Structure 1
Amino acid sequence: MSKAKTAGKAKVETITQVVPAVPLDIKITQWIAMLSATVSFTLLAYYLRLYPVLLYGWYINEFDPYIRLFMTEQMLKYGTIKGLLWWLHKGYGTLFMHFWYPWGANWTIILSPGVSWLGVLAYKILSHFGFDLLQSVILLPAIANAAVVPAMFYLGYRLGGKYVGLLAALWSVFTTMFLQRGTAGWFAAEPLFQFIATLGIAFYIESLTRKDNYWILFAVLSAIFNGITTWVWGSYVFLWNFYGLFTIVILLYLLIKIARRQSLPFTIDKLVITYVLTDLGFSAFVAITPRYGFHTLVSGMGGVANAALLFSIIAYALIKLYPRYPRIMVPVVRYFLMAIVVLVAAVIGLSFTSVGGKFLGALLPLARSAIVQSVAEHSPSTLQQGVYNISITVPFVIYTILLSIMSLSLPAILVSLGSLAAAYFASSEVWLFMLLGLFWVPATAYGFVKLTELALNRRILVGLSIAALLGVVLAIALVVNIQPALLMSIMPQQIVSTVTPPIPTPDWLDALQWLSYNTPPNATVLSWWDYGYWIAIIGNRTSLADNSTVNSTQIALIGSFFMSSPYNYTGVLEKLNELHDPQYILIFEPYTVFPVNLTSYGLGTVCVLIPEYPAGGDFAKSYWMARIAGYTNNYILNTFISPAQVGSSTIYVPFANNTFYAAYNVTLYDLMFNSEVTDASYIVWSTCTVNGIPTYWVFEGVPTIMPSVNATSFKLTYIGLPDYNGPVTPWYYLLQPPPWAQLVYVSRPYGWVIIYKINYSVLEALARNQTLTR
């Protein structure tokens, strides 16, 4: 009987070792199908991302891409390679005087070269097909973001096979984490970063999983592609530190195993060498970039990353020595583990003292400055935004995390840990969902495929039922993502729709063209910093501040000017002198005109002008102007924008004094809400003036631009719209602009962009008289 058992066991072993080979024609058919699907997904992604151009024309989107275009033009003057060298040599000290009057700006030390240099390369290629520079940089983000699809297939394939790759590629077509800044015209960091970083992560995983000697080649490719991200987007610091975190977690696990005298489950040569090369790739690109330089390697988040590198090298040495000297290494490792806790805490604490701005704000939300808080993309994520971005894919990611822990698969641990870390930052700041997609998409695909495989290994009926249920959940998740994705793909570019909801209008284009043709070439324009790039690059006039926000003192001075009294002439002159006497003031304030029949109130028909409907103008931003200028929240509430009760509705008026002249005594509001502006507005004239209808500003159910109770969100909400029927209290009679401000332009057709010329001779005379009468 024992012989029979032995023979049976041998027979079973023989059978299990025989794995039928997949015929070559079937393999070829499978890969043709996969390739066809991936190409189809890529073309669909490109079509979606190209749609804004098809609908609205060849416009660059948002604000930041304009400075990228400007610097692409500067690099092209030198050529592809010499242009890059010019940048890396700090532009040979070039100051561009159209920015940050009167100091100018050297953009080669403020920005990284990657986006503009890739714009040069895109133009060099696309010009052969008849595209000019503007069209080339408009197409580049759509092309790069569509290229994320095949890159994500490769990442998913190396993570868990071809089905994981195919699902990750499909998800990449529609996920808002990629699409929100991946459409044509977004000539900025994010769409380019997402493509390059996806390849960097894929090469990193390839290096860890390959069994042959070619793994070192992929480690080098990981170093190059991850290093290039430093030239594209400042969020490279997340990747840089994340690879260190991933390596530390694995090494700590092995060190704990040693401290407990347990055997090690795997070798770490490829893990450590790949990490060291990748860290060196980051460090090399950081060191040669003027924006960062060598000091970044030992300060801020760079210091944390390189502290992680030092820890990894020491831990690697301890682990490699353990098999040779087990009795000595066990106590050494135990002391090392105790010391490392203290040292890491100290390094992180010291490094945070040199971390500022957006990086510190992402790590510690309570540490955000007023300027960072004032930008909508830096606000904490809401539940709705979470659903839009990750849909109902959380169970799949959770399963991926569980599998990574149970299997100790390094690729699975990498995407799991990346998903957790990026999810924290995405919850902290909504714009970092674009970072989360790099890990969440492959983690979702991996979890779904592995759950499906687990289900199909059960009894046929049960397995098929569970697999079908999983498919339904995935389909629902995809559909939930498709709707906001399609809405994003048809959004007009911001230069033709600078409001929410987006309403296409040529107001800004009209205003910037007027500025460039009707003001002196050396004219300086005072505006809120949001519009600085447009003024300097499209309008070709000198701005005082722009979206780089490199000079917070200048921005605070501008905020203080706008929120000061226009009739304290001495104070106005002093503030303008501090700003080096700008010549023009530009204001943006969207509003809607409603003819309302108020016969029942004994007033007949009047035209009601409702500011911030649609939203996005300087009235809504005035709260942050005051905050950045240094005013406390209580002072703002009691002085500039105070809540008051009228009937059952809460209103927010632009001044604490709830009277007919509530807007009086704040420079910004007087420049917005006055009769000269409305008289010059085509939409008001055609709707109201030509019909002899009186016009009033009404702030009934006014925009709630104050913080919510927990000070984490801001709304723009109205009561009684769109069928506004009263009550109409309080009224705001149309004021006159201050005597020192000469209205010279109101945009067509809506009148949302307003430009004044500052009359210094009048202002100086008024200031002298005011001083004498005191």
Structure 2
Amino acid sequence: MIRSQPASYGWELNEFDPFFNYRATQYVVENGINSYFEWNDDLSWYPHGRDVSQTSQVMLHMTAATTYWIFGGGGSLYDFTILFPVIFGSLTAVVVFALVRVIGGTTAGLFASLLFSISLPIIIRGQIGWFKSEPLGLFFSVLAIYLLLSGIKSKNPKISIPKIISSGIFMILGLSAWGGDQFFIIPIGIFFLTLPFLRTDHKFLLWAIPLFTSSAVITSLGFERLGTNFVLGLGGLSLIIPTVFLVSCIVIQNKSNERSKNRNGLIFLAAILIIGPSFLIVNADSQFIPLPSHRYLNAINPFLITSDPLVDSVSEHATTTIGQSFLFHSILMIFAGLGIWMILKNSNKSKFIENDMVSFALIMGLIGVYVSSAFVRLEVFASISIIILSSIGLSVLIKELFSHTTEIKLSKNIFIKSSFLIGIIVLLTVPVVFPANGNVFSTSNNPPTILNGGSTYRISTTDWTDTLEWIKNNTEKDAVIATWWDYGYWIQTKAERASLADNSTLIDSIIKKIASAFLSSPDNGAKMLLEMESDYVVIFIVGQRLGIDNGDQPLYTLGGGGDESKKQWFMRIASEPLPKYLHSDGVSGTDYFWNETLLGKMTPFTPLGYVNLANNQQSQAYQPGFTGIYTKDIKFPEDGDGPLRLVYSSPSFDTEKGGQVIGVFVYEINKDYAPLN
């Protein structure tokens, strides 16, 4: 029910990527699996197209299409994909129970399932309509880890072998559904390094761990996007090297006497830990093994910085702050610390949890928190880690308390138990209720992105859906749309038209050209867009109509998540100096921006003056701390003879006083305009 809150605003896919994933799934359903692997999508990155199976989350599309064939019942595929993340997110809560039950027992598993169900980072990346990688990727990877640990823990080879093989397969299926799943491989690899020192059944390890690694490697070769890039890359080597170490270490230990076998194994491990990073440092220059993209390297090394403004402009790539971490995890941080203490306290006694499971829980906890410090998006890993540790801590604490209270008088026994349980309930309730505007219920209660354009307004409008429908019905079928890359998937899926760029950000140079065109003079900018074979230009402006007018002129403020708020990123990506276009606040446009750039001219507003909202002071010129006040001003009217013509504006452009503007504006490029020829 928490995951389904956005549906109260409207029944739509949520965010941007889900629209491409829906269209790719639709292609599988309508054309078959074989056609999908031969598909070059000509609506993407016009005129280059996109090799879909090479550049997208294949297992997400295949799983959705297969489950639709089985469970769709002839219903709408669009509706099915809207529900898809809710179903798999809920199923993952069951798998989390199974995983943590293997590590710390049934009580810990039940706590984990509860905490997973109300985890804010997981909920906001798995809401209804969020037909993206994370819900399915988490399901596959948590299932893979459960099968691996369960297989290792089982003493029956008839059970262990199918579980371990299935684990390797599901790990790769998860990686194909979501590239971020490779961060689950890191703790598994480190876990393998510890097993020779924690387990005495070395004969079992000698075939079980290589079986898992072989299963994963062989499965990866069946995926075009993974293949040798995975096997020879950091992901595959993170499994292969620890597996080779495990086998070699066991051989060394078996050839050593009882006193020195652990010492010799540790010396060998130290050598591996020294040689491995040294090899990676050398490889950074030689590129002997294929390295992942910067965002994945940044997660491994949070101190790594990028000079690419395109990467920095993506909000989910923002570095996690301490405040965000506390908001996401709050009281669970305390329970996780308690879990670590209780695990270490009881590890030598093997009272409640086995040593190899202790090792995995601690490794998963440390790695999850570490990698999540790089990006907000990766907070899901911190959530999984903290949930595991918190659940084990709560479970062990309860068992400790209940096992000792038998020695206390009955009245005290009941009082202690009741007080403890009430305290636990109160503490677990805190993150669900507080803060009022930042708990799991309020934070997840947002409209699907297409209904507010990704703006900061928690409202539902038809501006984008109406615009996309207009484009679909009123432009040529082979028309090409130029717009900022954020909206490319919407145009391809809802309007069924080709776009120059989209959210996959595959060809950086095209995005830079669009940014340069927007910041060029109106004539040069329109000519650049025409040279890229585009027919129309779409921009998105967010603002607020004030409650008072200036005579018969409506007054507006601008800002809230549209192109007016992103223009500084256009400038950075186009390598343009910001002071040329923006005042000192980094938001308000200069006279040059408004009068000399294509974007300034396409924005159907013009500055009237500036106001200090704190004391109502007014100024004709910009002053620090003042807010711009704007009036409507269409510079390229439909009947004009300029380089562009405004052929459509969305409904909220004519909003009533005090209303929000979620304005989408479609311009036709005037190919008869003399300077363009």
Normalised TM-score (structure 2)? 0.86
- Cα distance in structure 2, aligned partners of 1:310 and 1:220: 18
Q: Does 1:191 align with 2:135?
A: yes
- Cα distance in structure 1, aligned partners of 2:507 and 2:92: 35
Instruction: Report the AA paired with residue 361 of structure 1.
Output: N
Structure 2: gaps of 5 or more residues = 349-354, 622-628, 637-641, 654-661
Match of 2:595, SS?
A: coil
Aligned counterpart, 2:358:
412
Query: CA, structure 1 residues 323+70, in 2 after alignment: closer, same or farther (shift >3 Å)?
Result: farther
Give the conservation status (yes or no) of the 8 Å contact 2:540–2:563: yes
The correspondence of residues 239-638 of structure 1 with structure 2, limited to 5 A, is 239-251=184-196, 254=197, 266-270=200-204, 273-323=207-257, 333=265, 336-350=268-282, 354-365=291-302, 366-368=304-306, 369-406=308-345, 407=347, 409-458=355-404, 460=408, 461=412, 464=417, 465=419, 468-480=422-434, 484-498=439-453, 499-566=455-522, 569=523, 571-572=524-525, 575-576=528-529, 580-596=532-548, 607-612=554-559, 615-631=560-576, 635-636=577-578, 638=579
Give the conservation status (yes or no) of the 8 Å contact 1:240–1:279: no
Q: Does 1:737 align with 2:648?
A: no
Question: How far did 1:501 drift?
Answer: 2.9
1:298-331 Cα distance to aligned partner (Å, 9 max, x none): 134434443333333322332333358x77x789
Query: CA, structure 1 residues 699+526, in 2 after alignment: closer, same or farther (shift >3 Å)?
Result: farther
Match of 2:363, SS?
A: helix
The correspondence of residues 691-770 of structure 1 with structure 2, limited to 5 A, is 700=611, 725=616, 727=618, 729-730=620-621, 737=635, 739-750=642-653, 752-762=663-673, 765-766=674-675
- Cα distance in structure 2, aligned partners of 1:307 and 1:449: 35
Instruction: Report the AA paired with residue 588 of structure 2.
Output: V
The correspondence of residues 64-75 of structure 1 with structure 2, limited to 5 A, is 64-75=17-28
Give the conservation status (yes or no) of the 8 Å contact 2:456–2:561: yes
The correspondence of residues 69-218 of structure 1 with structure 2, limited to 5 A, is 69-79=22-32, 83=33, 85-87=34-36, 91-92=37-38, 94-128=39-73, 130-213=74-157, 214-218=159-163
Rg: which structure is higher?
A: 1
Match of 2:547, SS?
A: strand
1:246-299 Cα distance to aligned partner (Å, 9 max, x none): 222445xx3xxxxxxxxx774445556444333333323322211122233113
Give the conservation status (yes or no) of the 8 Å contact 1:244–1:275: no
Could you say which structure has the greater relative contact order, defined with CA pairs below 8 angstroms and 6 or more residues apart? 2
Match of 1:49, SS?
A: coil
Q: Does 1:672 align with 2:603?
A: yes
- Cα distance in structure 1, aligned partners of 2:301 and 2:457: 31
Query: CA, structure 1 residues 376+697, in 2 after alignment: closer, same or farther (shift >3 Å)?
Result: farther
Question: How far did 1:741 drift?
Answer: 1.2
Query: CA, structure 1 residues 195+480, in 2 after alignment: closer, same or farther (shift >3 Å)?
Result: farther
Of 589, 609, 615, the residue aligned with 1:654 is 589
Match of 2:389, SS?
A: helix
Instruction: Report the AA paired with residue 280 of structure 2.
Output: I
- Cα distance in structure 2, aligned partners of 1:240 and 1:357: 18
Give the conservation status (yes or no) of the 8 Å contact 1:496–1:507: yes
Query: CA, structure 1 residues 66+651, in 2 after alignment: closer, same or farther (shift >3 Å)?
Result: closer
Aligned counterpart, 1:62:
15
1:13-40 Cα distance to aligned partner (Å, 9 max, x none): xxxxxxxxxxxxxxxxxxxxxxxxxxxx
Query: CA, structure 1 residues 448+335, in 2 after alignment: closer, same or farther (shift >3 Å)?
Result: closer
Give the conservation status (yes or no) of the 8 Å contact 1:396–1:444: yes
- Cα distance in structure 1, aligned partners of 2:295 and 2:570: 19
Q: How many residues align?
A: 632
Give the conservation status (yes or no) of the 8 Å contact 2:47–2:500: yes
Query: CA, structure 1 residues 698+250, in 2 after alignment: closer, same or farther (shift >3 Å)?
Result: farther
- Cα distance in structure 2, aligned partners of 1:665 and 1:163: 66
Give the conservation status (yes or no) of the 8 Å contact 2:230–2:236: yes
Give the conservation status (yes or no) of the 8 Å contact 2:68–2:80: yes
Question: How far did 1:478 drift?
Answer: 4.6
Instruction: Report the AA paired with residue 124 of structure 2.
Output: Q
Give the conservation status (yes or no) of the 8 Å contact 1:533–1:546: yes
- Cα distance in structure 2, aligned partners of 1:334 and 1:350: 25
Match of 1:589, SS?
A: strand
1:561-594 Cα distance to aligned partner (Å, 9 max, x none): 112232xx3x4366336x5231111001111100
**CA RMSD for the aligned pairs?**
2.9
- Cα distance in structure 2, aligned partners of 1:670 and 1:308: 59
Give the conservation status (yes or no) of the 8 Å contact 2:57–2:133: no
- Cα distance in structure 2, aligned partners of 1:201 and 1:230: 13
- Cα distance in structure 2, aligned partners of 1:451 and 1:478: 22
- Cα distance in structure 2, aligned partners of 1:118 and 1:495: 25
1:511-545 Cα distance to aligned partner (Å, 9 max, x none): 00010111111111110000111111111111000
Match of 1:197, SS?
A: helix
- Cα distance in structure 2, aligned partners of 1:573 and 1:189: 36
Structure 1: gaps of 5 or more residues = 1-46, 255-263, 598-602, 644-649, 676-695, 702-718, 769-774
Match of 2:594, SS?
A: coil
Query: CA, structure 1 residues 740+78, in 2 after alignment: closer, same or farther (shift >3 Å)?
Result: closer
Question: How far did 1:447 drift?
Answer: 0.7
- Cα distance in structure 2, aligned partners of 1:521 and 1:265: 65
- Cα distance in structure 1, aligned partners of 2:187 and 2:24: 30
Instruction: Report the AA paired with residue 242 of structure 1.
Output: P
Instruction: Report the AA paired with residue 557 of structure 2.
Output: I
Aligned counterpart, 2:626:
none
Instruction: Report the AA paired with residue 245 of structure 2.
Output: F
**Deviating more after overlay: 284-293 vs 425-434:** 284-293
Question: How far did 1:414 drift?
Answer: 1.3
Question: How far did 1:556 drift?
Answer: 1.0
Question: How far did 1:234 drift?
Answer: 0.4
Give the conservation status (yes or no) of the 8 Å contact 1:61–1:495: yes
Instruction: Report the AA paired with residue 583 of structure 2.
Output: S
- Cα distance in structure 1, aligned partners of 2:328 and 2:468: 35
1:355-406 Cα distance to aligned partner (Å, 9 max, x none): 2242123233443332221111110123342233212112221233234445
Question: How far did 1:604 drift?
Answer: 6.1
Q: Does 1:639 align with 2:580?
A: yes
Aligned counterpart, 1:50:
4
Question: How far did 1:664 drift?
Answer: 2.0
